[in-house]
Structures are given as C-alpha cells and as structure tokens.
C-alpha cells in the first residue's frame, strides 16, 4: 500500500466520481480504477459500491476515510516541516555577539531574520571574546560576531564593517567635540576599561591607542561589560573608550567623542558546517553588513 493510493482513495471518497477525480489527480480514469482496485485487494475490503450511474462508499470505505483524513493531514504537515528544515527555514540558530552591537547592528539583524524566517528560533549568547572560538568549536554556538578574525583553522570569518572608537565622558564633562584636541588631555582622568592585560584583539587595539598617545591610563574600574561601563560613566565615575555602536544605547548623561581609530566587526562560523539554517543566516548577515553604516543611522 502506497501513500499515493491513499490520496487517490480520499479524493474519490470526496468526489464520488471517477472522471472528476481522475482529472483532479492528473491521471487517467482507467489508471485511477486500477489503483483503487489494487488498494481494495491489498486491504481485503470493498471500498466503493459502484455502477454505471453512481459511486458510493461502503461502510469499510467510510471508516477508512474518517481514519485516514487526519493521518494524511498530519503526514502533509510533517512533510512540509521536513522541507522547511531542508531549506533552512525552521530550526534553531545560536548566535554569539559582543555587547557593543546590542544597540545597533544586532537588533536590525534579528528584525530581518524574524521577517524573512519567521519560524526560526534564535538563541542569543553574550560571552567574552576569549570564549567565542571554543563555543563555536564545541557546537554551543553556530556563528559569532566578534572584534577580531577567527584564528582556529576549523573556523572561517569575514569582516562586516568598521566603526570608529569613541571617547565616552559624562555629559557635564568639560570635553566635547569642539574643544577636544587629543587623548593626551586626559592623562589625569580616571578611566573605566576592560582589563588591558587580556590577550584579545580588542584590548590590544586599546593598548595601541594609549601607546600612540604616550601615556598609560589611570584605570580605576575594570570590566568587560560595556553596558556596565556606560552606566558608571553616566554616574561621573570616570571616562572610557568604546566602539561607536554604544552611542545607540540612548543612555542619558553621557557624551560620545569620535576618535581617529577604528575597530572591525567580524562574523565567524565553522568551516565544515553544512546547515541550511546557517547558510540562510549568513546571507542575512552579509546583507545587513553591506548596508550598515555606523554613524549615519
């Protein structure tokens, strides 16, 4: 017994007319008759009472119609779900991201994903940069946004865009875009920064900035969480340097001053990952990165 035979039976049970059913199912009337006869012989029951004038369901046929209709609906639903999985339109994707893009690029990307792939579940993870690669290799994340390219040969990465670093000061601070001459004016300021001893691309970029300016910052608070840094700056506890993306946070009582240094945003994923979901998400990421221009939004 084949699924197609059941479909022919259910169609005929609805039409109760061989010619109409054959046209509807795109087969000849004789082929439909053979399929129904083969089904009856395999089941050992008569499904239809038929003569030259009419076609009627037998009691056994009526019973099977009631049993098979919901089963066929369920099978069709399962088949549709399988196609969606195959096409990458259904499933789960786990994305890691730095806090700096939580106010700008990431909301735009998730909006695009939800509109184009509405049945896809997105899980967001915000680890520190040093754990991104291991989480990808351990299949705890499917792709990750980070400030440096992937180093592990099992991973692939590409640069999406660059954005400037900014000096962030309390709103009532004496420095602003007009009178800012350089970071050397901040030698005596208290800084709130990531631990500059960390061996990450991001912290090495910060170290380079201070090396270029010829002084070591007076770091009073160390934290890798940008949202915490912003909150502390807004309370007047110090100044900091962060990617421009944080300016979209709309946090009151802080001022952003653009610096002549840039930082990149990369996306990384496993080279051997053939997931259709990942393929679709990478397309969305590529489109978002191509249209995203920091500072003009």
Structural domain spans, the chain: 3-86, 91-291
Q: How confident is the model at residue 296, as a pLDDT?
A: 43
Q: Which two tokens stand for residue 214?
A: 């010829």
Other residues' Cβ atoms within 10 Å of the Cβ of residue 66: 10
Which residue in 251, 50, 67 sits closest to 166, CA to CA? 251
Q: How far apart are CA 241 and CA 246, in angstroms?
A: 10
Query: Helical H runs in the chain?
Result: 3-15, 18-25, 29-43, 59-86, 105-116, 132-137, 201-213, 226-234, 276-291
- DSSP states along 103-129: TTHHHHHHHHHHHH-TTEEEEEE---G
Residues linked to residue 155 through DSSP beta bridges, in sequence order: 270
Q: How confident is the model at residue 86, as a pLDDT?
A: 57
Residue numbers in the chain where pLDDT is lower than 70: 79-82, 84-89, 128-130, 293-297
Query: Helical H runs in 117-185?
Result: 132-137
Q: Do 155 and 137 contact (CB within 8 A), yes or no?
A: yes
Residues in the chain: 297
Q: How confident is the model at residue 295, as a pLDDT?
A: 41
Q: Which CATH number fits domain 3-86: 3.20.110.10, 3.40.50.300, 1.10.645.10, 1.10.10.10?
A: 1.10.10.10
239 burial type by CB count under 10 A (0-12 exposed, 13-18 middle, 19+ buried): buried
Other residues' Cβ atoms within 10 Å of the Cβ of residue 82: 11
The per-residue pLDDT for range 79-131, each reduced to its tens digit, is: 666 676 656 667 888 999 988 899 889 999 999 999 988 888 899 988 765 57
Q: What is the CATH number assigned to the segment(s) 91-291?
A: 3.40.190.290
Residues linked to residue 248 through DSSP beta bridges, in sequence order: none
- Within its chain, how far is the Cα of 169 from the centroid? 33
Other residues' Cβ atoms within 10 Å of the Cβ of residue 135: 16
Q: How confident is the model at residue 2, as a pLDDT?
A: 86
Q: How far apart are CA 169 and CA 167, in angstroms?
A: 7
Q: How confident is the model at residue 120, as a pLDDT?
A: 87
The per-residue pLDDT for range 246-266, each reduced to its tens digit, is: 998 878 899 999 999 999 999
Q: How far apart are CA 84 and CA 61, in angstroms?
A: 34
Sign of CA dihedral 166, 236, 97, 84: negative
């Amino acid at each position: 017994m084949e699924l197609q035979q059941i479909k022919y039976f259910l169609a005929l049970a609805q039409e109760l007319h061989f010619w109409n059913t054959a046209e509807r199912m795109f087969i000849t009337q004789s082929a439909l008759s053979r399929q129904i006869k083969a089904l009856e012989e395999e089941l050992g029951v008569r499904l239809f009472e038929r003569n030259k004038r009419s076609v009627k369901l037998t009691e056994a046929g009526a019973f099977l119609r009631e049993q098979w209709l919901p089963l066929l609906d369920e099978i069709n639903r399962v088949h549709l779900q399988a196609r969606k999985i195959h096409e990458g339109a259904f499933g789960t994707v786990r994305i890691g991201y730095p806090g700096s893009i939580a106010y700008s690029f990431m909301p735009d990307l998730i909006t695009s994903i939800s509109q184009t792939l509405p049945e896809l579940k997105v899980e967001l993870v915000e680890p520190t940069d040093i754990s991104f690669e291991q989480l990808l290799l351990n299949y705890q994340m499917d792709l990750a946004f980070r400030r440096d390219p992937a180093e592990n040969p099992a991973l692939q990465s590409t640069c999406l865009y660059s954005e400037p670093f900014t000096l962030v000061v309390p709103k009532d601070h004496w420095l602003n875009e007009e009178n800012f001459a350089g970071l050397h004016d901040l030698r005596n300021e208290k800084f709130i920064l990531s631990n500059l001893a960390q061996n990450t691309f991001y912290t090495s970029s910060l170290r380079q900035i201070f090396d270029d300016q010829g002084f070591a910052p007076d770091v009073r608070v160390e934290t890798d969480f940008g949202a915490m840094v912003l909150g502390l700056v807004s309370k007047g506890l110090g100044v900091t340097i962060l990617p421009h993306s944080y300016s979209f946070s709309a946090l009151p009582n802080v001022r952003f001053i653009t610096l002549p240094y840039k930082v990149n945003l990369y996306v990384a994923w496993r080279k051997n990952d053939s997931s259709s979901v990942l393929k679709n998400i990478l397309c969305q990421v590529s489109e978002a990165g191509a249209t995203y221009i920091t500072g003009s939004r």
